Amino acid sequence: MLTGKVIVVGVTGGIAAYKAVELVSRLRKQQAEVQVIMSRGATNFVTPLTFREISGNPVVVDMWDEPKSWNVEHIALALRADGFVIAPATANLIGKLANGLADDSLSTTLMATTAPVLLAPAMNSNMYQNPIVQQNIAKLTALGYRFLQPDCGMLACGVEGPGRLPEPERIVDAVIELLCPQLPLAGKKILVTAGGTREAIDPVRYIGNRSSGKMGYALAAAAASFGAEVVLVSGPVALDDPAGVRVIRVESAQEMMAAVLEEFPGSDITIKAAAVADYRPQTAAQHKIKKQAEQLTLVLEKNPDILAELGQRKQAGQLLIGFAAETQELLTHARGKLERKRLDMIVANDVSLPGAGFNSDTNIVKLLYANGHQEDLPQMDKQSLAIELLKRIIKLAEK
């Protein structure tokens, strides 16, 4: 499937660098032209000679080396490449890319390319789970870079956890998906909501919640990569707009309702991942409320249930997916919401579990379908979960 494609394999300095040798060999068996760029650190694990023999091409390491031929000079590679795969990708390379640093051949070439880039991180579990690394991954994902989730297991450093480079076969599959993308959602319009809402108390205060928006943003990005036209109605979040997605920013539940109702009629699939405030202050004070009495009572009134309203308006052929965040009796509450709001599927998560729900980078969910079927998914990062959810939604859409 990769016949004639120019694939640049970037190898950085991790113990898993040896697996990149098999990766290069497998890519060549798929008839790809493979060019290898190594970081200086990677050469401590595998010699450039090995990659030269396996790839059949000169290997680029040092930016200041005299190029072997002008055509393989690193900027030329940035232009010629159909795609990049970085395996293993160290925390250092990910950090440099996320911050626009270009201080060696690999990072310079990556900065200069417009080709799709797949990164396969491999490192110690604590490093991988470090919020700095996770933030860098989230930032790059929002910018359109693809990541392959590392495997869990015993790492070279003796620690058990996520951080192992996936087997080369899986990386090749991901490269094929990157370069020969399936666009199962081409021609479909998908409406996604994300983040929490803010309900004004006065000009400086609001009632909010802990939603980060990460799940909804990951879903919007994944739907766009599957070829859909995506509209994302987002509450205030600290995330960059996903590439190729139209973003409508709102604050309150009422603003979200107005935007969603406007976009809903032409949407084939609507996914409501937002954490909408159920209540809002009855009146938002015009001026800042001053500190006076010992107690202050806020009277709250009910917000509209956007999803329930969509359930009422849903036409044949429109799919409606909701989320249920619960801290107890997960399945009973989620099934109740699925039925009450006339949904096709609900993504239920117990937000009291570690590694699930609000503000976490991972999620653990159970899927409940309108036909009574239930499916439990393992803990996974929100990008991977978004893809798994969309695969199931695509199946529902085909029925």
Q: List interacting residues with ligand CTP (CB under 6 A).
A: 253, 272, 274, 276, 278, 303, 305-307, 322-325, 337
Residues 195, 274 contacting (CB under 8 angstroms):
yes
Q: Least separation, in Å, of the C-beta of 198 and ligand CTP?
A: 13
Q: Which is nearer to ligand CTP, 113 or 252 (CB)?
A: 252
Q: Phi, psi (5° rounding) for residue 340?
A: -60, -40
Site of tokens 């091409």: 57
Q: Which is nearer to ligand CTP, 31 or 327 (CB)?
A: 327
Between CA 156 and CA 134 the distance in angstroms is 21
Locate all alpha helices (DSSP H) within the chain, ordered by sequence.
19-29, 48-55, 74-80, 91-98, 105-112, 125-129, 131-142, 168-179, 214-225, 253-263, 306-313, 330-340, 382-398
Q: Least separation, in Å, of the C-beta of 210 and ligand CTP?
A: 12
Q: Least separation, in Å, of the C-beta of 204 and ligand CTP?
A: 24
Pairing assessment for the beta strands 269-272 and 319-326 based on DSSP bridges: parallel
Q: Which is nearer to ligand CTP, 126 or 352 (CB)?
A: 352
Between CA 75 and CA 327 the distance in angstroms is 52
Q: Least separation, in Å, of the C-beta of 263 and ligand CTP?
A: 14
Which of 362, 218, 209, 334 is CA-nearest to residue 275? 209
Which of 329, 348, 276 is CA-nearest to residue 307? 276
In the residue annotation, 157 being an active-site residue is answered as yes
Q: Which is nearer to ligand CTP, 146 or 280 (CB)?
A: 280
Q: Least separation, in Å, of the C-beta of 314 and ligand CTP?
A: 13
CB neighbourhood size of 297 (10 A): 5
Q: Which is nearer to ligand CTP, 24 or 269 (CB)?
A: 269
Catalytic residue among 156, 157, 159, 204: 157
DSSP H or E run through 205? strand 205-207
Q: Which is nearer to ligand CTP, 89 or 253 (CB)?
A: 253
Q: Least separation, in Å, of the C-beta of 213 and ligand CTP?
A: 12
Between CA 189 and CA 186 the distance in angstroms is 8
Between CA 121 and CA 149 the distance in angstroms is 7
Residues tagged active-site = 157
